């Protein structure tokens, strides 16, 4: 099946009789550079794509003026994973893994015992510090979709269903959520959930948003709401890399120039290289400390 034309998009919809809201995310051009950020074995690539689709899905129902990230800290073959979706629709992500191990498909084995999953929203605050909201969940499911369903049931008390589909070309996600309050008829959530269970990953991959609503929720008078485009984008910049170098301290930052005469920092998300000469590094430590921006995570 060809990839539907409405890819690299997020679309929201409503099942009014059932009292259920939904989001569909479909990524192709936005997925390629994320998948290409390392030589990922299939199980890691699948988890990374699921997390990328999920980060985009979660921006639909949360107030995100800055960015939303999905982060995993593991103790197995998969040691770390981060995907981010910003308010402007830009996505990025990467995973760190043991290159020598053969990664298992089950997420619990892949991430190891005690692995944690975090969903974080960072919105611009009034002062310099962003407003940060974070939800944490321990991974107790074989898949990321199951872990996220558990998260929403536990922390938001909102019945939620998630299907995430990933291959080398596309990653896609569908999320159904019961509307807060008592919207919809008594059987609404149950009915939508049964229909949801009939959807196969390849259908989520191959169908347009319109086709999905017509075929999956025929009889529910589904309403397609406004959506938006998504694209790959990285928030790294020379200023942010300079702030990270400054935070290392002069000796360590200077030591990075010793081998090639320049410090070179490569952004792991997008591959962009930033080079600093010893004189430029020197400059980082001669300006008043107050004017150096605090490092914002890695970059």
Footprint of Zn ion on this chain (CB under 5 A)?
Answer: 234, 236, 267, 269-270, 272
Minimum distance from residue 89 beta carbon to Zn ion (Å): 16
- For residues 175 and 236, which CB has a smaller minimum distance to Zn ion in the complex? 236
- For residues 131 and 243, which CB has a smaller minimum distance to Zn ion in the complex? 243
Q: Where do the H-state alpha helices sit in the chain?
A: 32-35, 42-58, 107-111, 144-151, 188-197, 201-206, 209-216, 238-248, 250-255, 278-284
* Residues paired with 123 in a beta bridge: 131
Instruction: Name the residue with tokens 């004189």.
Output: 279
Minimum distance from residue 114 beta carbon to Zn ion (Å): 30
Minimum distance from residue 122 beta carbon to Zn ion (Å): 17
- For residues 137 and 245, which CB has a smaller minimum distance to Zn ion in the complex? 245
Do 238 and 284 meet the contact criterion of CB atoms below 8 Å apart? no
Minimum distance from residue 111 beta carbon to Zn ion (Å): 25
Minimum distance from residue 57 beta carbon to Zn ion (Å): 23
- For residues 76 and 93, which CB has a smaller minimum distance to Zn ion in the complex? 93
Distances (CA, A) of 36 to 21, 45, 56, 102, 248: 33, 10, 19, 19, 29
Joined tokens for residue 178: 């019961």
- For residues 160 and 272, which CB has a smaller minimum distance to Zn ion in the complex? 272
- Please tell me the distance from the alpha carbon of residue 27 to that of residue 57, in angstroms, as a whole number: 11
DSSP state of 289: G
Rg (CA), the chain: 21
Minimum distance from residue 95 beta carbon to Zn ion (Å): 15
Do 213 and 11 meet the contact criterion of CB atoms below 8 Å apart? no
- For residues 193 and 272, which CB has a smaller minimum distance to Zn ion in the complex? 272
Is residue 129 packed enough to be buried (19+ CB in 10 Å), middle (13-18) or exposed (0-12)?
exposed
Minimum distance from residue 270 beta carbon to Zn ion (Å): 3
Strands 171-178 and 160-166: antiparallel
- For residues 99 and 273, which CB has a smaller minimum distance to Zn ion in the complex? 273
């Amino acid at each position: 099946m060809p990839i539907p034309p409405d890819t690299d998009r997020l679309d929201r919809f409503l099942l009014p009789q059932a009292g259920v809201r939904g989001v569909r995310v479909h990524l192709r051009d936005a997925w390629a550079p994320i998948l290409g950020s390392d030589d990922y074995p299939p199980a890691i690539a699948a988890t990374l794509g699921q997390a990328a689709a999920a980060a985009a899905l979660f921006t639909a129902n949360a107030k995100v003026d800055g960015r939303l990230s999905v982060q995993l800290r593991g103790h197995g073959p998969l040691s770390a994973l981060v995907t981010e979706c910003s308010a402007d629709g830009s996505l990025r992500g990467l995973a760190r893994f043991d290159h020598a191990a053969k990664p298992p498909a089950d997420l619990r084995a892949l991430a190891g015992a005690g692995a944690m999953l975090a969903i974080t929203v960072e919105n611009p605050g009034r002062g310099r510090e962003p407003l940060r909201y974070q939800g944490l969940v321990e991974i107790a499911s074989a898949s990321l979709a199951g872990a996220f369903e558990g998260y929403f049931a536990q922390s938001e008390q909102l019945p939620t269903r998630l299907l995430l589909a990933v291959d080398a070309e596309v990653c896609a996600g569908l999320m159904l959520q019961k509307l807060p309050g008592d919207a919809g008829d008594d059987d609404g959530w149950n009915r939508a959930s049964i229909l949801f269970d009939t959807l196969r990953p390849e259908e989520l991959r191959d169908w347009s948003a319109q086709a999905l609503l017509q075929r999956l929720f025929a009889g529910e008078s589904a309403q397609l709401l406004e959506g938006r485009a998504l694209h790959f984008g990285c928030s790294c910049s020379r200023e942010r890399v300079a702030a990270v170098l400054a935070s290392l301290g002069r000796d360590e930052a200077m030591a990075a120039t010793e081998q090639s005469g320049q410090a070179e920092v490569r952004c792991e998300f997008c591959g962009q290289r930033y080079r600093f000469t010893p004189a430029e590094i020197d400059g980082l430590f001669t300006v008043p400390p107050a004017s150096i921006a605090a490092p914002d995570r890695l970059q």
